[in-house]
Amino acid sequence: MSNELELGSEFEAVLLYLKESRGFDFTGYKRTSLARRVRRRMAQVGIDAYSEYVDHLQVDPEEFNALFNTILINVTGFFRDPEAWDVLRSDLVPALLAERSPEDQIRIWSAGCASGEEAYTLAMVFAEAIGPDRFRQRVKIYATDVDEEALAQARHAAYPESAVEKVPPDMVGTYFERQGNQYTFRKDLRRSVIFGRNDLVQDAPISRIDLLVCRNTLMYFNAETQSKILGRLHFALAPRGLLFLGKAEMLLSHSRIFDPVDLKRRVFRKTTAATVGLGHFAAQSFAHERTTEIRGLAQLRDHAFSASPVAQVVVTGEDVVALVNQQAELVFGLSNRDLGRPLRDLEVSYRPVELRAYVEQAKVERRGIRIKDVEWQRGPGEAIWLEIHVNPLVDGDNGLLGVSIVFHDVTAARALLDELAHANRQLESAYEELQSTNEELETTNEELQSTVEELETTNEELQSTNEELETMNEELQSTNDELQAINDALRERSVELDEVNDFLESVLTSIRSGVVVVDGEMRVVAWNFGAEDLWGLRQDEAVGQHLLNLDIGMPVAELRPTVRAALQDLHFAETKTMAAVNRRGKRISLRVHCGPLRTPGGEIRGGILLMEGTEPA
Ligand SMILES: C[S@@+](CC[C@H](N)C(=O)[O-])C[C@H]1O[C@@H](n2cnc3c(N)ncnc32)[C@H](O)[C@@H]1O
């Protein structure tokens, strides 16, 4: 309770928001574990304050589902708590079937069925008991939950291998079809299982149920809501219907409406309110022969009657007060003066309970009647509890002598019972709390497990990426080696080319005459030292220039037709003499020999000009 108070109004505001915006009422759930789940979700979205979380719920429509999934713990399984299912299969179901005729319909309700394993377990148990054909004809299993997502899974009826591990192996073959890693529940039997949404707190229960299975669901609710739900479950059951709860759910505090059938396995039967017959008290005289020998026996009997600590009034067959003991005088203010008066004239005949009808009934039926739980307000603030026994007194021939009315004061016993009930409730709730914490841990564990599995997958992916990278690396390495080899070869070629170039350069340099080589476009590609000496233009100034654009003392325009012809005719060769001006500004006579530059294959790739200048004497 203190915990509930500590949670405070901000938490209540979250619950109120959920109720008003989504119509889902969590107020009947146990506060401590509810708050724990809400805080858990808040931590997942990085929110610390309840008020901030309400804002978050308002702006993010998906958040409600996520919260709902965190709050509603769907832990379940086939044949969950196998020991209890064993007893159900071996004892309780056969007994339930034996109590009904072979044609009777059997109505079963799995309330809080989560993803359906419990409902299909019930289907298997009953199909085993009566055979699949009779099962289809006689059995209806209603399976309900408040969680639509869980119901969708249940309707799908397909489960992973890990889920069916708990099903006895021979049943797996009989009741499931395997498709890869999925096990699907048999379709012909699946049709007898009807799934639907039902909120145990708010919705009307299903009726005329022979077996109601509500396991590991009640424990999430507080005592008040549990009582309310149990009232509905009681209503749902047919006479002598059975209620099968989870192992943490004991029902000790609801023993008035449910009788235990197997307390250990949490199986109960709906009680029908029964008056308890006590049998009749024959006013049987003691064995005459012996008692007549005891002197003063009548006086002894009177004193014993009078001194009894239990209040007692005896009336005759005509309802006239015959005997009143001391305790009755004390408790009800009776006295000797009341002897001989009709019972109806005394207050005790109608207060604290209307006695006359019971006295009449005891006389007519000749059996004792017990009136339980009679509260009597003796004075201000002084309530006592009575259990009244009304017994007919008959002689040996069943002739009526009178009626004894005994008032047992059960106030102390009742207080003890109340304390016991209170202790039981606390025990139940502690046990349930333990179980629900256990289930929370199971979900957390499952979540951790799936995180571990995800990490393992990521790890495997990384590993394979790593292996791919290693292969790529090896490929790159070999490509690199190949490139290196090509590079080395190129470098060798380059050295060779350099050598060839050096050789050609030195040939060109060693020729005293001017040598000019042009390409097909007449651009200068080689300009030797002799040409430099003749025209005063350095190699780096001449190479790349168009021959006809060179600003030198040679009349290049005159050479144009000759060079053109050399560029077009493989066999062309011409020697020309012309006037020119050398680099020193002296007039010279220039002899120019021009021909094509040939490739080894015999193609023209440019022209070559050899020049020699002579200064006039
Ligand atoms: C722990 S599971 C129990 C599943 C199954 N009965 C078993 O014992 O294996 C509890 C189920 O109760 C459902 N539940 C919670 N509140 C409910 C409500 N108000 N009405 C109906 N079902 C509810 C949850 O959605 C969840 O599926």
pLDDT of 474 higher than 50: yes
Q: List pLDDT tens digits, range 234-279.
A: 999 998 899 999 988 877 667 678 999 998 999 999 986 433 233 3
C-alpha 117 – ligand 1 centre gap (Å): 12
Mean pLDDT value of segment 106-123: 97
In this prediction, residue 77 carries a pLDDT of 96
pLDDT of 509 higher than 50: yes
In this prediction, residue 2 carries a pLDDT of 39
CATH number 2.40.30.10 given to 82-270: no
Averaged confidence pLDDT in the chain:
89
Q: List pLDDT tens digits, range 340-375.
A: 999 999 999 999 999 999 999 999 998 899 999 899
CA torsion, points 274, 275, 278, 280, in degrees to nearest 10?
-130
Fold designation for 297-409: Beta-Lactamase (3.30.450)
Positive or negative, the CA dihedral 384, 389, 390, 393 is negative
Residue nearest to atom 10 of ligand 1 (CA): 217
Lowest mean per-residue pLDDT among 10-19, 118-127, 281-290, 545-554: 281-290
Q: List pLDDT tens digits, range 38-67.
A: 999 999 999 999 999 999 999 998 999 999
Verify whether ligand 1 is closer than 6 Å to residue 75 (CB atom).
yes
Q: Which two tokens stand for residue 120?
A: 């299909």
Q: Where are the domains of the chain?
A: 2-71, 82-270, 297-409, 508-614
Give SS3 for 581: strand
Q: Determine what percent of the chain is predicted with pLDDT higher than 90.
A: 68
- Model confidence band, residue 439 (pLDDT cutoffs 50, 70, 90): confident
Residue in 219, 240, 346, 239 with CA at minimum distance from that of residue 230: 219
Residue in 124, 146, 145, 95 with CA at minimum distance from that of residue 192: 124
pLDDT of 590 higher than 60: yes
Verify whether ligand 1 is closer than 6 Å to residue 223 (CB atom).
no
Equal fold, 297-409 vs 508-614: yes
In this prediction, residue 1 carries a pLDDT of 40
Pocket test for ligand 1, best of 75, 141, 146 (most atoms within 8 A of CB): 146
Verify whether ligand 1 is closer than 6 Å to residue 203 (CB atom).
no
pLDDT of 286 higher than 50: no
Lowest mean per-residue pLDDT among 138-147, 229-238, 376-385: 376-385
C-alpha 601 – ligand 1 centre gap (Å): 94
CATH number at 508-614:
3.30.450.20
Pick the CATH number of 2-71 from 3.30.1370, 3.40.140, 3.10.450, 1.10.155: 1.10.155
In this prediction, residue 311 carries a pLDDT of 94
Q: C-alpha angle with apex 84: 83 to 88, nearest 5 degrees?
A: 120
Neighbours of 533 (CB within 10 A): 14
Mean pLDDT value of segment 455-466: 88
- Model confidence band, residue 287 (pLDDT cutoffs 50, 70, 90): very low
What is the model's pTM? 0.56
Q: List pLDDT tens digits, range 492-503.
A: 999 999 998 899
Q: Which residues pair with 110 in a beta bridge?
A: 143, 213
Verify whether ligand 1 is closer than 6 Å to residue 146 (CB atom).
yes
